[in-house]
Amino acid sequence: MTEKDVRVALVTGANRGIGLEVSRQLASRGYVVLLTARDLAKAQTAASKLGNAETVEPLALDVTDLRSIEKAAADVSRRHGRLDVLINNAGINYDTWETVENADINGTVMETITTNLLGPWRVCQAFLPLLRKSRAGRIVNVSSESGSLANMSAGPPAYQVTKAALNALTRTLAGELRSAHILVNAVCPGWVSTDMGGGGGRPVTEGAAGIIWAATLPANGPTGGFFRDGKPLPW
């Protein structure tokens, strides 16, 4: 296999939880994985846990910091010259302690918008030039059924609204990139036992598998969809 045949994937928020497991599964499939975290030391520690020194590369990337995003894109361009898979996994604030009526607009809400919506948007903008150089570009936005308008009711307000907005971004970007043959989909991993999701959920391996499915779709695979475990979810 030549260097051009090896696919390169970047995962945001990958130093723990679903992001770390997605990185592990991609590496096991032979991908070069750019495992990112806001702090380089955390990315390095996480990468060392996977034991794939040749295929897992730690990289600092803070999705709330435009300079960090641009620096990461420049690093990837210098190292690999392209990107095949972008997985926007970083997310925060399942804000069950708030309601729309009492939400801290300038605190929790703005923080959640910055990370869960503007972060993936900025990351997409920065890495699209590298994704356009791929023969099989894929973008996976890690969303949640909490963002499904069809089923939405009372719930964590900042989280729900930002995941619904991320779904809208997914649809919009998929339409723009259809002619470029870059597939863009949103994936809900389900309730998974992680630091953010808490205990009681399904194994992280199962939640990550649906993300891997979207990241490795064939050329005739769907785009602009919302899925869990490879099956469509209502918008």
Residue 25 Cα distances to 21, 66, 107, 179, 201, angstroms: 6, 28, 35, 29, 19
- The answer to whether 159 is a known catalytic residue is yes
Cβ atoms of 43 and 59 within 8 Å: the answer is yes
Catalytic member of 159, 213, 226, 227: 159
DSSP H or E stretch at residue 139: strand 138-142
Tokens of 159: 């989280």
Closest by CA position to 131, among listed 176, 168, 91, 81: 81
Cβ atoms of 131 and 139 within 8 Å: the answer is yes
Cβ atoms of 63 and 83 within 8 Å: the answer is no
Taking phi over 0 as left and psi of -120 to 50 as alpha, with beta for the rest, 32 belongs to beta
* Burial class of residue 170 in the structure, from the number of CB atoms within 10 Å of its CB (0-12 exposed, 13-18 middle, 19+ buried): buried
26/82 Cα distance (integer angstroms)? 17
Q: What are the catalytic residues? A: 159
